[in-house]
Amino acid sequence: MKNSIATLALAGSLASALATIAAPAAFAAENNEKCYGVAMKGQNDCAAGKHDCAGKSTMDFDKGSFKLVPAGTCTSMKTPDGHGMLMPA
Amino acid sequence: MSLCTQTRFAAALADPAVAVPPGLTAWNGLQPQRRFAVYRNNVVVGLTGAIASRFPAAQTIVGEAFFSAMAAEFIRVHPPRSPLLLSYGDDFADFVERFEPANDIAYLPDVIRLEAARGKAYHAADVAPLDAAKLAALPPERLADLVFVPHPSLSILRSPHPLVTIWAMNAGEAELRSIEDWTAEDAMVARPHMTVEVRRMPPGGAVFLQALASGERLATAVEHAIENASAFDLSANLAGALQTGAFIAFH
C-alpha cells in the first residue's frame, strides 16, 4: 500500500515537472555552433591549446579560437582572412 | 639534464632565497643571477595570471593586490604538478581556507570552490543532457527505482553563506548591493550545452541531487531530501534538474 502511494506521488510530481519544462518559454534549447576564425581578439568564447580561454585570444580572426554563432550561419561569415570554419585550423 | 640538476633548478626557481644553481651561464656573458631572476618572475607572473583568470570573482572580492599576494604564496607552496593549467588551482580554496590574512572573509573559499566547479564544467566532456520525453514514456511503477547518470560537468556545492548571491554580484551577473537576508545557499553548476550555468538550489535540492548523482534510487533521494528540508518540492526540483541538464541517462 505504502509503495503504491509513493508511486502515485512520484508519477504526479514527474508529470507536473514535465509539464513545467514543456512550456515553450522555459524550454530554450541552445542552437549555436562553434565557429572558428571569426572572433576578434579578446572576443572569443573558447578554444583548447593556445590560451586559457574565453576572451584570451590575442589575434583577430584566429583560426584556433571560436565564437558561438547561431547554427547554420558559421560558414557563410566572411572575414578578411576567409570564411568561418566549423573546425579549428 | 640529470634529475639532480633539474630538482635543484626547480627549487631555485620557486624560492628566491635559494642561490642560483651552479654552472649557469648567460648567452651574452652577463651575470646569470639577473637572467635567472627574470625567469623566476615570469614563472610567478604567469601562474598568478592563470589563477586570476580561473577565479575572477574571488579577485574582485579581495582586490588585485591582495589576490596577487595570496596567489604568489599559493604558487610557492603548491607549484603545478601538471603542465595542464586548466586544472591548476583545484586546491586553491583549501589553501585560502588556511591562509590567515583571508580569515575575515569566511565565504571566500566557497566562492573559489564555485569558480573551480565552473572551470571544471567548462572543460568537461560535451554530452547531450537527458531528453525529458524519455521519462514521460516510463510506466509509473518503475519511477521509484530509477537511477540517474550525472552529467560530467555537474557539481553541487553546499555553503553556510549566501554563496550564489555573492558570486553573482562579483561576477557581474547581479547588481552589487548589501545582502539583507544572510542565509545559507547551495549551488548547482553544470554545462548542458555551450554555457556554464550556476543555479541556486531550492530547499533540499542539493541533498536530492547529491543523492541522485551518487547513484541512489529516486525514491531514496526523495526521502533524503525531505529529511533535509520538509519544504522540499519534488516537482520543482525534477523540473530544475531536467532543465539544467544535470543528468544524461537513467536506468
For the purposes of burial, counting CB atoms within 10 Å of the CB of B20, is it exposed (0-12), middle (13-18) or buried (19 or more)?
buried
Using an 8 Å CB-CB cutoff, list chain B residues near A53: 86, 122
Query: Are residues B99 and B133 located together in one domain of the fold?
Result: no
Residues sharing a CB contact under 8 Å with residue A75, sequence separation 6 or more, in sequence order? A83, A84, A85, A86
Using an 8 Å CB-CB cutoff, list chain A residues near B140: 7-8, 10-11
| Residue at which a domain ends, from B70, B105, B140 | B105
With contact defined as beta carbons under 8 Å apart, do B239 and A20 qualify?
yes
**Domain-located, residue B244:** yes
Using an 8 Å CB-CB cutoff, list chain A residues near B218: 10
d(CA B179, CA B107): 13
Cell 639577473 sits on residue: B34
Residues 31-70 of A with CB under 8 A from B: 32, 34, 45-46, 52-53, 56, 68
The reported pLDDT for the residue numbered B71 is 95
| Subunit contact B238:A13, Cβ cutoff 8 A | yes
Q: pLDDT exceeding 90 applies to what percent of chain B?
A: 69
**Domain-located, residue B165:** yes
Q: What are phi and psi of B165, to 5 degrees?
A: -65, -45
Query: Are residues B52 and B142 located together in one domain of the fold?
Result: no
Query: Residue B84 in 3-state DSSP?
Result: coil
- Please state, rounded to an integer, the average pLDDT across all residues of chain B: 92
Measured N-to-C along each axis, helices B32-54 and B3-14 cross at an angle, to the nearest 10 degrees, of: 70
Query: Are residues B44 and B134 located together in one domain of the fold?
Result: no
| Subunit contact A10:B140, Cβ cutoff 8 A | yes
For B228, what's the count of Cα atoms within 13 Å in the CB-facing half-sphere? 21
| Subunit contact A6:B219, Cβ cutoff 8 A | yes
Mean pLDDT along residues B127-141: 91
| Residue at which a domain ends, from B74, B105, B136 | B105
| Subunit contact A18:B135, Cβ cutoff 8 A | yes
Q: What are phi and psi of A43, to 5 degrees?
A: -110, 5
Name the pairing type of β-strands B155-159 and A78-79.
unpaired
**Domain-located, residue B116:** no
d(CA B70, CA B142): 52
Query: Are residues B63 and B132 located together in one domain of the fold?
Result: no
Q: Residue A65: which of A84, A83, A39 has the closest Cα?
A: A39
Query: Are residues B76 and B190 located together in one domain of the fold?
Result: no
Query: Are residues B35 and B74 located together in one domain of the fold?
Result: yes
Query: Are residues B85 and B29 located together in one domain of the fold?
Result: yes
**Domain-located, residue B120:** no
Query: Are residues B131 and B244 located together in one domain of the fold?
Result: yes
Q: pLDDT exceeding 70 applies to what percent of chain B?
A: 100
The reported pLDDT for the residue numbered A1 is 40
The 10s digit of each residue's pLDDT in B216-247 is 999 999 999 999 999 999 999 999 999 999 99
Mean pLDDT along residues B183-192: 95
Query: Are residues B76 and B133 located together in one domain of the fold?
Result: no
**Domain-located, residue B111:** no
**Domain-located, residue B135:** yes
Residue range(s) defining the domain that contains residue B25: 1-105
Query: Are residues B242 and B141 located together in one domain of the fold?
Result: yes
- What are the pLDDT tens digits along chain A (89 aa)? 456 667 778 888 888 888 887 754 433 445 677 777 767 666 666 654 555 566 666 666 666 667 667 666 776 666 666 777 766 76
* Number of structural domains in chain B: 2
d(CA A46, CA B184): 33
d(CA B118, CA A66): 19
| Alpha carbon of A83: minimum distance to chain B alpha carbons (Å) | 22
Query: If you compute the radius of gyration of chain B from its CA atoms, what whole number of angstroms results?
Result: 23
d(CA B119, CA B58): 14
Nearest to A7 among B140, B234, B236 (CB): B140
Query: Are residues B242 and B153 located together in one domain of the fold?
Result: yes
**Domain-located, residue B118:** no
Mean pLDDT along residues B136-152: 93
Tell whether the model's pLDDT for residue B183 goes beyond 70: yes
Mean pLDDT along residues B161-187: 92
d(CA B111, CA B178): 17
Query: If you measure CA to CA, which chain A residue comes closest to B132?
Result: A18
The reported pLDDT for the residue numbered A26 is 36
Using an 8 Å CB-CB cutoff, list chain A residues near B243: 21, 26-27
d(CA B150, CA B214): 8
Interface residue of A52, A67, A86 to substitute, partner B, most B CBs within 10 Å: A52
The 10s digit of each residue's pLDDT in B45-103 is 899 999 999 999 999 999 999 999 999 999 988 989 998 888 999 999 999 999 999 99
| Alpha carbon of A26: minimum distance to chain B alpha carbons (Å) | 8
| Subunit contact B239:A21, Cβ cutoff 8 A | yes
**Domain-located, residue B110:** no
The reported pLDDT for the residue numbered B88 is 94
DSSP A25-76: TT-----EEEEET-PPTT---B-SSSSSSTT---STT-TT-EEEEETT-GGG
Interface residue of B47, B87, B142, B143 to substitute, partner A, most A CBs within 10 Å: B143
The single-letter code of the amino acid at B51 is: I
Query: Are residues B81 and B168 located together in one domain of the fold?
Result: no
- The grid coordinates listed for B109 are 573559499
